[in-house]
Structure formats: structure tokens, C-alpha cells
């Protein structure tokens, strides 16, 4: 099954590495979010500066992903709601994690667990075993040394 409706984000956003779904970048977030939206992505923005521990992480993702009121703000509830979220996806989504470096510095364990879970969700959503696979792109944005893909692209 060919997934011809997938968008090559490396053509939309110069400076990204081909063949990756996880992008570690330096860029102003607004041009990136606007460009992704213009190319058909549903964009979800996580405010990393507002996350200092698991409690603030769960508050942030509840708001960003519009999790239901029964979301229990723990890892089991996160997994369950992330599975439900995956089922409601549009064809292309982008998760933009602003200030991801600040989240990592505040609580590396929370950050790593969340990225692993998002990775697993992206793999599952994009599986060709699904009747309608979905494209999920994750952008970790920050200013530390590891954020080397400077995306200083100009919008026309």
C-alpha cells in the first residue's frame, strides 16, 4: 500500500533531514506552525516552558490534545488517551514541542517518557497495517547544543 498522500516535510520546511519523523530544530515557532498548517497539517503546540514536572506535563497535554475530563493525569491515563487521540487523527499531524530543552532540563525523565510514548504513537498511527495510516511529525524545538537544524526559512 503506497501512502501517496503523505507530505514530504523536507520540501515544505528547508533544513530538515530526509526520512525522519522526529525533528530537533532551532526555529521561531510561528513560521513553522504557519507553514505546516498551510500544507494541511493539524498542528498541536506543547508549551515546554510551562512543564517542570509530571503534574505540569499532564496539565499541558490535557489542554493541547483536548483530552476528556476523565483524564487522570498519570502515565496510564496518558497512554489510554494518547491511543484515543490517535484514532481521532486527521491524515497529517504535527506536534511542535516549543522549549523542549527547558522541559528536558526541568525533568528529563518526564521528557524522555513522553517522547518515547509519542514515538510509539507515531509508529502505530503510521503503520500500513492500519486501514488509513496517518502521518505524524514531531518537532522538538530548543536552543541547546543538540538543536542544530537552524530553520531560518522565509515565508513568501
In the chain, the domains with their CATH numbers are 21-150 (3.30.370.10)
Residues 119-147 pLDDT 10s:
888 888 776 565 667 788 999 999 888 78
pTM of the model: 0.87
| Mean pLDDT value across the chain | 85
Q: What is the DSSP string of the chain?
A: ---TT---HHHHSTTPPTT-SEEEEE--HHHHHHHHHHTT-EEEEEEGGG-SSHHHHHHHHHHHTT--TT--SSHHHHHHHHHHHHHT--SEEEEEEETHHHHHHH-HHHHHHHHHHHHHHHHHHH-TTSSS--EEEEEEE--STT--EE--PPP-
Q: Summarize the confidence of residues 67-88 as an average pLDDT.
A: 89
Amino acid at each position: 500500500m503506497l501512502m501517496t498522500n503523505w507530505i514530504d516535510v523536507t520540501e515544505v520546511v528547508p533544513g530538515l533531514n530526509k526520512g525522519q519523523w522526529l525533528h530537533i530544530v532551532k526555529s521561531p515557532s510561528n513560521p513553522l506552525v504557519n507553514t505546516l498548517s498551510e500544507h494541511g497539517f493539524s498542528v498541536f503546540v506543547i508549551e515546554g516552558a510551562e512543564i517542570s514536572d509530571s503534574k505540569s506535563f499532564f496539565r499541558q497535554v490535557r489542554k493541547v490534545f483536548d483530552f476528556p475530563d476523565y483524564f487522570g493525569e498519570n502515565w496510564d491515563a496518558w497512554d489510554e488517551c494518547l491511543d484515543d487521540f490517535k484514532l481521532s487523527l486527521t491524515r497529517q499531524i504535527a506536534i511542535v514541542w516549543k522549549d523542549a530543552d527547558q522541559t528536558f532540563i526541568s525533568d528529563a525523565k518526564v521528557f524522555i517518557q513522553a517522547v518515547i510514548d509519542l514515538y510509539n504513537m507515531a509508529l502505530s498511527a503510521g503503520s500500513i497495517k492500519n486501514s488509513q495510516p496517518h502521518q505524524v511529525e514531531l518537532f522538538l524545538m530548543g536552543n541547546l547544543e543538540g538543536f542544530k537544524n537552524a530553520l531560518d526559512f522565509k515565508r513568501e
